Chains A and B, each alone.
Chain A
Amino acid sequence: MIKRSFIVLLIIAGVILIAKLNPISLPKSNPDNRLIKLNSDGEPINAWAGPWSCVYDKKTKLTWEVKSYKEDIYSRECSFSWYNGKVGTKRGGNCYTNSGKSDTSDLIKIANNEQLCGLKKWRLPTKYELQTLFINNPKPGDPYLSVAYFPYTAKAAYWTSDINKKLHGHFSYLGNGAESVNFKDASNATMPYRNAAFVRLVAKN
């Protein structure tokens, strides 16, 4: 009977030991297949860490500007007319810089001067480059990109560097415009340079 009692105690102890050795596991931060957060100095940070200013895409080797809630030129609210110093419409956006209302050249100039995320080759993305941020399965009502990496993204049109595109329909009398990409529905359209649209800058290391 002593032997059997010992077996019973051994079984109970074994169950407790197994339970002790198998505690519940907490979620872990797994790096994204493509995207890496960069702080304002351009240093990579953990997928669950923050705040961050830029995102590096390992697949395209492009670094993207991240919009902000702050009331500066990188604000989620700031829109810009398309202008590159030669082509487009000057100062047709809704944010103010030292020289007046904003256009795309202002944002590019400021980002390069400030060396946002340690980079000084910020520019407008091509349509193809911007479309690489699309995802197929956003949450209901979310824009068509990873909002966990690109918060404060408007469900609206974003300028690309593709210009001299013929305008159609109502705006055909304006001649040419620039291509835009819309994160509301993953579409694209040609818009007059004078339109105020959002901008997400891109840079290559």
Chain B
Amino acid sequence: MAINNKKPFSWVVLHLAIIGLTLISLLTGLRIASLSHSEILFFNLLLPQGYIHDLHFYSGLSLLAILVVYVISFFASLSANNNTKNIRIFHRFVIYFGRLVLSISILTGVLIYMGLFASSLLVQVHYYSALFLLGYIILHIGAHFIQYGIKVFGVIFYPNKFIFKKDFIVLFSLVFLASGLIFLSANKSYHNLLVKLIPIETFINIDGYANERAWKDAQEIAIHTFSGANFNDGQTKVTIKAMQNSEAIFFHFSWEDPTESLQHLPLIKTKNGWKIIEKGFNHFNEKLHYEDKFALMISTNCELGASKTAHLGPKPLHDKPPNWHGKGYHYAQDATLRDLWHWKAVRTNNMKLADDNFISKPDFVRSGLRRYSAGYQVDSKDSGSYDANWQWYSPQGIIPKLLPRNPSELDIYKKDIGKNSNINWYIPWFDYQIYNAKKDNYPIGTLMPSVLYTSNRFEGDRANVRAYATWDQGVWSLEISRNLNTNSPHDVKFSDGVCIWVAAFDHAQVEHTRHVMPIRLHFSEPNND
């Protein structure tokens, strides 16, 4: 069967560009989507791994430029042979369908990137439009091949018509627009937050209530975070305020979370002994029986993909072990350290601290440790910590390290499982005693916390971040503070232009919400140190 082979130069270039860019967008996008849609990991072998956010972003941006040029040229009738009149009706509808889903995919991508609207629906539309786009590609290529045979692929490479003026205008517009979009996005891709300057005498109590007068006129921004486990459709809006005095910085974060989750991997007595109540913890991806958490990353590097630390896929490092959940690792490829504060509703909130961590280059592989965490590491501590109340982890059952001195201490947990209450699901080490099988006479069904406080709080570098949060009527309110400069080699010094990222966890171990553009801090006056 004959095929229309009269394709102009600009058509060939645009078509090849769309093929390449769509493939890059699809493959990188599906890898990103695998963070929330684990079923995509079935096609893991076909998807790229590692740091792919730049590729996804710039391929999407280039497709946007093509879309704009296409629309303009369509209405200006500049593009030769951009109609489908001479194509058979099936192909015509397939192409219309392809244009529609590609346009939807591009536009929802732009909106997700900007983060201005509730993002969960947008993310879903973006995801399913990508799947439809995949279907379109199969239909488009498959149908042409079935109808015309292998010769059809020659058409897309060899133009046989040069319309100098039209080709030049289309291609020049495209290059100009794509370059402009990339330049603009590379320089202005931030949410901006003004850090209010307050006198050193102004007292800010880190109690989870931002009720001091100083907070009232601090600038507040709202960031729509999405694609986390749980929450409402995996999304939550995070509001942020920041203040500084000459010594310290203060943040107030609040985020919607319908449940106050404090039952962190509770232990239950069964007929075969004690067991951890879990659903995913064995693969370090607990999404049900876990505490709420909140993370703040601070970096002088404001690049996409969480300051270029998000390396996706089961094995983004060829010489390091794969991860347990297939999602990826956080690590930095350059020498710049990213600070990471990790507030935990049970394990650190009662210490009035956030866990002071950092992300750097991938760590060495250490034999004997089940979990390799790549660049995600904790600051050093001199003493104090929390511990797990099991001698050795096994999904089949565990032996607790400690049991209560008085069995009635566990009575308060009897009625709490499945409900949300403000009972502390941690136990102080010295209120309990070393496990003794002879004294383990607890009835089947007895519940016991698994979080042990070995002291009141961390001491040392790991204790640099003060934090406390309260939960009320579906909203967590977190106040958090640290010295602007701790002089620690594992902390980032705050200064004008530093970027932050936020992530909320709704009783999930690793599946946190996220946002695309960083938040850039603007200080009222330069820091002196």
Closest B residue to A9 by beta carbon equals B142
- A130–B180 CA distance with the chains assembled, in angstroms: 63
Given the interface pairs A24-B41, A141-B380, the reply to whether A69 lies near B401 with Cβ below 8 Å is: yes
A99 CB contacts on chain B under 8 angstroms = none
Contact partner, B45, options A7, A12, A22, A142, Cβ 8 Å: A22
* Interface presence of B323 (CB below 8 A): yes
- Does the CB pair B42–A140 fall under 8 Å? no
Q: Name which of B211-219, B304-312, B370-378 contacts chain A.
A: B370-378
B322 touches A71 (CB 8 A): no
The answer to whether B381 touches A141 (Cβ under 8 A) is: yes
Q: Kindly identify, within residues 1 to 57 of chain A, every residue whose CB is under 8 Å from any CB belonging to chain B.
A: 1, 4-5, 7-8, 12, 15, 18-20, 22-33, 35, 37, 47-51
Bound-complex Cα distance A140 to B461 (A): 10
Q: Are B377 and A140 in contact (CB under 8 A)?
A: yes
B303 close to A (CB within 8 Å): no
Q: Is residue B273 contacting chain A, with contact meaning CB distance below 8 A?
A: no
| A22-B44 in contact (CB<8A) | yes
Provide the main secondary structure of the chain A interface: loop
Q: Which residues of the other chain, A, contact B324 by a CB distance below 8 angstroms?
A: 26-27
For residue B370, which residues in chain A have a CB less than 8 angstroms away from its CB?
27, 29, 48
CB distance from A185 to the nearest CB of B (A): 12
B367 close to A (CB within 8 Å): yes
A-contacting residues, B131-175, CB 8 Å: 138, 142, 145-147, 149
Complex: A29 Cα to B369 Cα, angstroms: 9
Partner of A148, one of B43, B321, B368, B381: B368
In the complex, whether A137 has a CB less than 8 A from a CB of chain B is yes
- With A24-B41, A24-B44, A148-B368 as given contacts, are A70 and B363 in contact (CB-CB < 8 Å)? no
A12 and B369 form a contact (CB under 8 A): no
Q: Which of A4, A47, A49 has the most CB of B within 10 A?
A: A4
A26 engages B45 (CB within 8 Å): no
- How far, in whole Å, are A32 and B366 apart by their CA atoms in the complex? 9
Q: List chain B residues, Cβ under 8 A from A149.
A: 367-368
Asked if A139 is an interface residue, CB under 8 A from chain B, the answer is yes
Is A131 part of the binding interface, using a Cβ–Cβ cutoff of 8 Å? no
In the complex, which residues of chain A have a beta carbon less than 8 angstroms from the beta carbon of B142?
A: 8
- Annotate B321-339 by CB proximity to A: 1 below 8 A, 0 otherwise: 1111010000000000000
- Chain A residues numbered 57-110 whose CB sits less than 8 Å from any CB in chain B: 69-71
Among the listed A30, A37, A50, A141, which residue makes an inter-chain contact with B379, where contact means beta carbons less than 8 Å apart?
A: A141
The interface residues of chain B, by DSSP majority, are classed as loop
Q: Contact flags (1/0) for B33-74 with A, using CB distance below 8 Å?
A: 000000001111110000000000000000000000000000
Bound complex: CA A136 to CA B146 (Å): 62
Which of B149, B387, B401 contacts A4, CB < 8 Å? Answer: B149
A8 touches B392 (CB 8 A): no
B490 CB-CB contact with A under 8 Å: yes
Interface assignment of A146: CB less than 8 Å from any CB of chain B: yes
By beta carbon, the residue of chain A nearest B360 is A140
How many Å lie between the Cα of A8 and that of B461 in the bound state? Answer: 60
User: Which of B41, B45, B323, B324 counts the most chain A CB atoms within 10 A?
Assistant: B45
Are A140's CB and B145's CB within 8 A?
no
Shortest distance between the CB of A48 and any CB in chain B (Å):
5
In the assembly, what is the distance between CA of A48 and CA of B382, in Å? 27
A70-B367 contact, Cβ under 8 Å, with A8-B142, A15-B46: no
Asked if B461 contacts A1 (CB within 8 A), the reply is no
- How many A residues are at the interface, by size bracket? 35 or more
Q: Quick one: CB contact mask for B449-485 with A, threshold 8 Å, 1 for yes?
A: 0000000000011100000000000000000000000
Q: How far is the CA of A35 from the CA of B321 in the complex (A)?
A: 19
Q: Are A32 and B380 in contact (CB under 8 A)?
A: no
Tell me if B397 counts as interface (CB < 8 A to partner A): no
User: Are the C-beta atoms of B368 and A4 separated by less than 8 Å?
Assistant: no
Is residue B391 contacting chain A, with contact meaning CB distance below 8 A? yes
How far is B369's CA from A69's CA once the two chains are assembled, in angstroms?
18
> Distance (Å) between the CB of B160 and the closest chain A CB?
24
In the complex, which of the residues A47, A51, A141, A142 contacts B368, with contact meaning CB atoms closer than 8 Å?
A47
Residue of A with least CB distance to B142 = A8
Are A8 and B145 interface neighbours, CB within 8 A? Answer: yes
Considering the chains assembled together, what is the distance between the CA atoms of A37 and B369 in angstroms?
A: 13
**Contact B322–A19 (Cβ < 8 Å):** no
Docked Cα-Cα span, A27 to B391, in Å, equals 22
Interchain CA distance A148-B372 in the complex, whole Å: 12
**Closest residue of B by beta carbon distance from A24:** B314
Chain A contacts for B41, CB-based, 8 A:
24
Inter-subunit contact B145/A32 (CB<8 Å): no
Assess A137 versus B434: contact at CB under 8 Å? Given A4-B149, A8-B146, A25-B314. Answer: no
Contacts of A25 in B (CB 8 A): 314-315, 322
Proximity bits, B395-414, A CB within 8 Å = 1, else 0: 00000010000000000000
Instruction: Knowing A4-B146, A19-B46, A27-B321, say if A141 contacts B460 (CB, 8 Å).
Output: yes
A17 to chain B, nearest CB (A): 11
Asked if A4 contacts B44 (CB within 8 A), the reply is no
Distance of A48 Cα from B395 Cα, bound (Å): 13
Partner of A50, one of B138, B391, B461: B391
B364 in contact (CB, < 8 A): yes
**With a CB–CB cut-off of 8 A, which chain B residues contact A23?**
42, 44
In the bound assembly, the distance between CA atoms of A12 and B134 in angstroms comes to 12
CB pair A146 B368 closer than 8 Å: yes
Can you give 20 contacting A-B residue pairs, CB < 8 Å? A4-B145, A22-B45, A23-B44, A24-B44, A24-B314, A27-B321, A27-B372, A28-B321, A32-B368, A33-B367, A35-B368, A47-B368, A50-B391, A50-B392, A139-B377, A140-B380, A140-B490, A141-B379, A148-B367, A149-B368
Given contacts A24-B315, A140-B379, 15 further A-B contacts (CB under 8 A): A22-B45, A24-B322, A27-B322, A28-B321, A30-B367, A32-B367, A35-B368, A47-B368, A69-B401, A71-B434, A139-B378, A140-B377, A141-B378, A141-B462, A148-B367
Interface, chain B (partner A; CB < 8 A): 41-46, 138, 142, 145-147, 149, 283, 314-315, 321-324, 326, 363-364, 366-370, 372, 377-382, 387, 391-392, 401, 434, 460-462, 490
